[in-house]
Amino acid sequence: MEQTARNRRNPNNDGQLTVRIYVYRSVQYTTYEKLYLSAPETGRVSAVSNKGHYQQQDAKPIKHYSLYTNRRMVLKLKIWNSCQTIREFDVSIMVSFRLVAAYLLPFAAVLASVSAVDSSPEDWDNCDEIPTISTTASPTADPTTTSASPTSTSVAFSGPGYLKGYYDGIQKGCLITAGTWYAGVCAKITAIPLDDGFTISTSKGPCAVTDSVLNCAAGTTPSVFNEIDGLLAYGGSSAWYVPAVPNPAQIVSQIPGPVAVTFQWLGHTRSSQDTNMPPKIAQSPGNKQKFDDERFSDASSFYWPEGWSWARYSDPDVDFSTLSEEEKEKMRNGLQEVLGDEGMRNISLYLRQKMREREDKKLQEQGTPQPEYNSPDFLKQWEKRHRDGPWGFIAFRTALYDDEGKWTDFKSRVRRILHVAFDQVVEQHRGHEYEDVAKARKSFELHWIEDRQLDGASAETLRRWYVEVKNNEETPVDMDYNMFLCASPEAVESVLTLDEDNLPTTKSSFWRDEAPFLLVVMEEAEVNPHGDEEHDPNDLNDERNWYKSVFKVPVEIIPDNLWDLVDRAFMQPTRLTRGVKGSIELGGSMSENYTVDGLTELWWGMAPTPQALKRRRVLRGL
């Protein structure tokens, strides 16, 4: 990939160098944003940027520059003057997110040693196009680590596909529906070709670069993107930046940051045998939808021993004894490097599920009797208190009053997603649905409150309505909890923008930010467990700062995780909402309390988050 810039001379400044600078990077996916190259005899500084922009500014020390990389690489610099090559040289650079000025001194030294003749900016227009130079220099890296670079695809940006993220030459995650980079599931992206490029959109809406930040949302005017070597490019650059390697999802921008990422197009028109595509996953008897949350393939690791692949590694009957301990360790490290902690956790869950399904199939073929019914906690609670009537939550509709068809579709989808909690129980019993499970499934409901006056209603309005609804004789008994649910515009969008074949299933992983959700609205806007104590909004131990009166809950865990905890009524609301971000979609403000592991986008229950588990392992030295 080529980064170019022109360093043009002002003819009225006799001491200014007149050079054209081409920088070729030997590490294709590590980029710089700006290098300041000094011309000492003039006291001026020329700025070369990866977007090809030219500018001059007052002289600054050579240390004023930004170079983002985390390994050694070789920059090939070619200096041109009046269409002729003056000097070529290599500069080896080694930084690790800390920038050392000394590594750019060779640039200044070479420029200062060049004898350039006068020429005007117009002279450049008469030069032939400089041919692209393919470099073969490779980074100086640890020989035990091998980085896989993305390869160009012949599939154009057209129709449905994925945009796979590459960090430091290694494939890691994909662009997802909001236009953010995520280390887990890929989102389907649709590219529409134009005469001057193409547009892209996700299930959330068209994608655009606004204030240098990539965002995909309904109502957005789409930006026109271009392709550079099969990579997503905008403004002539395929370099994108994020604050950190994604876990959770990271906002993608063209503003220089500590981590550079590129996105390679993978069209759906590829052969089903393409090793970059996710493997076909065995389906369980209780759920025929695809396993859409794990995207594993040969590209999931940068190292496979000879004769090994993802298909062999994931085979339940695989014999690992043929490998040495060293080879096993290399293979594990290869997976860890590409997938990260969350990906390794998902692999473990996937392999466990695959093994269980194989064992279930064997037992069924052998005519083994169904396992004894083992009721999960939420169904034990249902049987104890609600066996003979409807159970669930009151839910308010605040959106789609102008489109009954979409509202009907929304409720149908929500109902399907709510079944996931019961499908899990069925799978745990080798596909057999016992009578109690079927009865509980049928009687669980969201009691919808629909009135056009509620269109766009605030949280305070809903709370006033809730008081009246609870006293209404038509409201099912035992649903008068200290909270209720709400189908807000954002919640509706999170459900309707999913493809029919991409709704959550029993195999969908927890803790993902992109899950379809409803809002939970607490009956009390504020709580004060500390009595007359003065409220300090910065006190980490003040439970008033933990309380979120409105937050998001994944639809799939409402019948088991949420309902079970609420119906048992043993946890204080402040502790219930301590680890989740609040939502201000219904108005008002929300506290942002600090936790060591950060707040989650959605409330997934009270179990430790993956970040918390990782921190505990680190503290234990594991």
Token code pair at residue 7: 């360093």
Ranges 57-66, 266-275, 381-390, most confident? 381-390
| Residues 444-481: b if buried by 16+ CB within 10 A, e if exposed | bbbbebeeeebeebebebbbebbeebeeeeeebeebeb
pLDDT in tens, 586-602: 998 888 888 888 899 99
Confidence of residue 212 (pLDDT cuts 50, 70, 90): confident
Per-residue pLDDT, 91: 42
Element (H, E) at 85: strand 84-93
Residues facing 240 on adjacent strands = 261
**Distance separating alpha carbons of residues 493 and 393, to the nearest angstrom:** 21
Match 């409201």 to its residue by tokens: 475
Say how many Å lie between the first and final Cα of the chain, rounded: 41
Which three-class secondary structure state does DSSP give residue 62? coil
Residue 607 has pLDDT above 50, yes or no: yes
Query: Is-contact 331 303, C-beta < 8 A?
Result: yes
Residue 152 has pLDDT above 90, yes or no: no
Confidence of residue 79 (pLDDT cuts 50, 70, 90): very low
Backbone dihedral angles phi then psi of residue 553, each to the nearest 5 degrees: -130, 135
Per-residue pLDDT, 455: 97
pLDDT in tens, 545-561: 999 999 999 999 999 99
Residue 140 carries which DSSP code? -
Residue ranges of the domains in the chain?
2-126, 159-267, 377-616
53 Cβ contact list (under 8 Å, min separation 6): 5, 47
Token code pair at residue 363: 């037992």
Residue 97 carries which DSSP code? S
Query: Is-contact 517 542, C-beta < 8 A?
Result: no
Compute the C-alpha angle 70/87/71, nearest 5°.
5
Asked if the peptide bond before residue 248 counts as cis, ω within 30 degrees of 0, the response is: yes
Confidence of residue 184 (pLDDT cuts 50, 70, 90): low
pLDDT in tens, 361-400: 787 777 778 789 999 999 999 999 999 999 999 999 999 9
Per-residue pLDDT, 185: 59
Residue 172 has pLDDT above 70, yes or no: yes
Sign of CA dihedral 37, 39, 45, 50: negative
The least confident of 128-137, 158-167, 182-191, 328-337 is 128-137
Residue 495 has pLDDT above 50, yes or no: yes
The least confident of 252-261, 388-397, 567-576 is 252-261
pLDDT in tens, 87-98: 444 444 333 322
Query: Is-contact 98 70, C-beta < 8 A?
Result: no
Across the range 107-119, mean pLDDT stands at 40
pLDDT in tens, 436-466: 999 999 999 999 999 999 999 999 999 999 9
Ranges 199-213, 285-299, 406-420, 518-532, most confident? 406-420
pTM for this entry: 0.53
Residues facing 382 on adjacent strands = none
**Distance separating alpha carbons of residues 54 and 8, to the nearest angstrom:** 8
Residues facing 162 on adjacent strands = 266
